């Protein structure tokens, strides 16, 4: 088998890429682009998608998407995340 036949990732943890984007980055670009193209304007959707991509890349720089999950846990209402092992996010003082 020739090396041109199959893609060999540099590491096992390397995510699958579509063009130059990972799956989460592609969704961040495609969703605003589609929604704004249907409702408003293509240019507004493109600007919104690229700014969200920049924000996502800055947010997960040097770490994984778990930071985004942690931020969503504290920012969104408690009924969205129904974790059994953790208390609701609005309870700031648990003991004392």
Q: Do residues 72 and 55 share a domain? A: no
Mean pLDDT of the chain: 76
Which phi and psi (to 5°) does residue 84 adopt? -85, -30
pLDDT at 30 over 80: yes
What range does the domain containing 43 cover? 1-62
Q: Do residues 75 and 93 share a domain? A: yes
Q: Buried b vs exposed e over 2-31: b needs ≥16 C-beta within 10 Å?
A: eeeeeeeeeeeeeeeeeeebbeebbebbee
Question: How much is the pLDDT for 49?
Answer: 87
pLDDT at 43 over 60: yes
Q: Do residues 14 and 49 share a domain? A: yes
Strand stretches in 23-91, DSSP E:
none
Question: How much is the pLDDT for 96?
Answer: 56
Q: What whole-number distance in Å separates Cα of residue 57 and Cα of residue 62?
A: 9
Banded model confidence at residue 64, pLDDT cuts 50, 70, 90:
low
Domain count for the chain = 2
Q: Do residues 43 and 57 share a domain? A: yes
Question: How much is the pLDDT for 67?
Answer: 73
Banded model confidence at residue 89, pLDDT cuts 50, 70, 90:
low
Please enumerate in sequence order all residues whose Cβ is within 8 A of that of 78, keeping only pairs 6 or more positions apart, or say none: 88, 89, 90
Residue 44 CA neighbour count, 13 Å, CB half: 7
Q: Do residues 78 and 55 share a domain? A: no
């Amino acid at each position: 088998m020739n090396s041109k036949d199959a893609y060999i990732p540099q590491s096992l943890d390397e995510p699958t890429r579509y063009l130059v984007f990972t799956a989460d980055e592609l969704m961040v670009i495609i969703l605003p682009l589609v929604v704004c193209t249907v409702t408003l304007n293509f240019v507004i959707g493109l600007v919104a998608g690229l700014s969200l991509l920049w924000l996502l890349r800055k947010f997960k720089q040097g770490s994984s998407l778990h930071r985004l999950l942690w931020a969503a846990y504290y920012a969104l209402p408690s009924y969205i995340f129904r974790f059994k092992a953790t208390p609701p996010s609005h309870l700031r003082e648990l003991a004392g």
